[in-house]
Amino acid sequence: MITHFPCDTHTVEITKEKFDYYKQHAVSYVGHKDLAKLLNVDYNRESLKLRDGDILLVAQLMGGRLPEGATKLPHNVSIKYLCMQILKNESENGLIETEITMEE
């Protein structure tokens, strides 16, 4: 949950390799046990509070749902990896042009 409004976000698609690297330095908030196993992250159903400047890694299922007990993705389902940053809304028109930079 985002803790303040209005706010802007900046979202970019990233590779699975970048996701795998960045997740080593992140806290997991994946609330689906089977998806957490597939992503090799901790299962965690805690509430997430996002503040200005926070960076969120997103693994978005595309093309369907993950069946209960799945150990691999079904043939019609894929994962899109995203990196999102929460930005303070400081401009008159609500848009902030910025770039997410993450050091490797």
Residue 46 sits in a domain whose CATH number is: 3.40.50.11170
Interior/surface letters 20-33, b for 16+ CB within 10 angstroms, e for the rest:
eebbeeeeebbebe
Query: How many domains, the chain?
Result: 1
Q: What does pTM read for this prediction?
A: 0.79
Q: Which residue has the tokens 């929460």?
A: 86
Domain assignment present for residue 29? The answer is yes
Q: Residue 44 sits in which domain range?
A: 7-88
What CA–CA distance (Å, rounded) separates 36 from 71? Answer: 10
- Tell me if 32 is assigned to some domain: yes
- Asked, for residue 98, whether it belongs to a domain, the answer is no
**CA-to-CA distance for 52 and 94, rounded, in angstroms?**
15
Q: What is the mean pLDDT of residues 89-101?
A: 52
Residue 102 included in any domain:
no
Q: What mean pLDDT comes out for the span 3-21?
A: 93
96 domain-assigned: no
Output the pLDDT for position 19: 97
pLDDT over 80 (residue 58): yes
Q: What is the pLDDT of residue 7?
A: 86
